[in-house]
Amino acid sequence: MQYGPFVRRTSELAGISDQNASIAVQSVMRTLAEQLSEKESHDLWSQLPSEFEPARRGVSGHELGYSSEQFIEQVATLEGVPVGEAGEHVRATFTSLQEAVSEGELAGVLNEMVRDAGYLELWAPPREPVSPPVPGLTRDEFVGRVESLSGLPREEALSLIDATLLTLADRVSAGEARQLAAHLPSELQLPITSASSPAEPFDLREFMRRIAVRSGRGSHDVDPRPVLRALAETVPHQELQDALSQLPEEITALFRQAPV
């Protein structure tokens, strides 16, 4: 996950502006670097974009042994906000972090930093606001658009939609998948919302292979572009850009190519 989407995700969860979310993220990550060993912080930062590096430079030390209350107080001091507000910022940043790094790295972080039950609450699943669904969009309208673009009969179009959405959800973070799903008809949300974090970093070849297997079509016959085109027409521009930022260029190109 790139820095911009990370900050926007934190902004949505904490209910603050992107500018304040960036300050919160840097404050939380600086405090996290002080809580972790130098090796673990290096491993964690290796999975994050370069904009996170200032938070790790010049820390006062490592393995400082903060309790959960002390962790929040340190963040509050760095941000210049009340302790209660800082706690919400910590929770939001930790949620974004869970969606941005691998499960193995996350396990290493938790193993080093969790010193009391308060930390478990800080890392708990969020009470997150989800983008409102697009009014008036129905399952039949979305499926009809894919039918029109692909020339497939309805049942085959439905299979292609489910296979493509599920594979796309595999490739982006669970949080981003949920945000995309919020803009689809409820009947089409399950393939996306069933995905688990973190994103799987596979390439175009694997992307196509999974869609082919799930749709019951040969890898040379499957074409996900009608579904991706319909998705791009449905999802708000900024939401789509956040999702595309998590994909390699060879996959994002499919969103721009007109179906044949």
**Got the DSSP string for 49-87?**
-GGGHHHHTT-S-S-----HHHHHHHHHHHHTS-HHHHH
**Which residues make Cβ contacts (< 8 Å) with residue 256, sequence separation at least 6?**
none
Is the pLDDT higher at 62 or at 210? 210
What is the CATH number for 12? 1.10.490.110
Count CB neighbours of 253 within 10 A.
12
110 and 143: one domain? no
Q: 143-176: per-residue pLDDT in tens?
A: 999 999 999 999 999 999 999 999 999 898 777 8
146 and 239: one domain? yes
Q: At residue 198, does pLDDT exceed 90?
A: no
Q: At residue 136, does pLDDT exceed 60?
A: no
Residue 129 in any domain: the answer is no
Residue 71 in any domain: the answer is yes
Residue 191 in any domain: the answer is yes
Please give the C-alpha separations between residue 172 and each of 102, 113, 175, 200, 201, in angstroms, as whole numbers: 12, 26, 8, 7, 8
146 and 222: one domain? yes
Lowest mean pLDDT among 24-28, 34-38, 72-76, 194-198: 194-198
If one counts the domains in the chain, the total is: 2
pLDDT at 258: 65
Distance CA 245, CA 22 (A): 18
Residue 133 in any domain: the answer is no
Q: 97-135: per-residue pLDDT in tens?
A: 988 888 888 888 988 888 788 888 888 866 544 445 445
Lowest mean pLDDT among 77-81, 87-91, 236-240: 236-240
Q: Concatenated DSSP letters for 174-229?
A: HHHHHHHHTTS-GGG-HHHHT--SS-----HHHHHHHHHHHHT--TTT---HHHHH
Q: At residue 187, does pLDDT exceed 90?
A: no
Residue 173 in any domain: the answer is yes
Domain that holds residue 76: 3-122
Q: 24-42: per-residue pLDDT in tens?
A: 999 999 999 999 999 999 9
Q: At residue 242, does pLDDT exceed 90?
A: no
pLDDT at 124: 80
Q: What is the mean pLDDT of the chain?
A: 87
pLDDT at 119: 87
Looking at residues 174-190, what average pLDDT do you find?
Answer: 83
pLDDT at 214: 92
Length of the chain equals 260
Looking at residues 226-243, what average pLDDT do you find?
Answer: 89
187 and 235: one domain? yes
Where does a domain end: 122, 151, 178?
Answer: 122
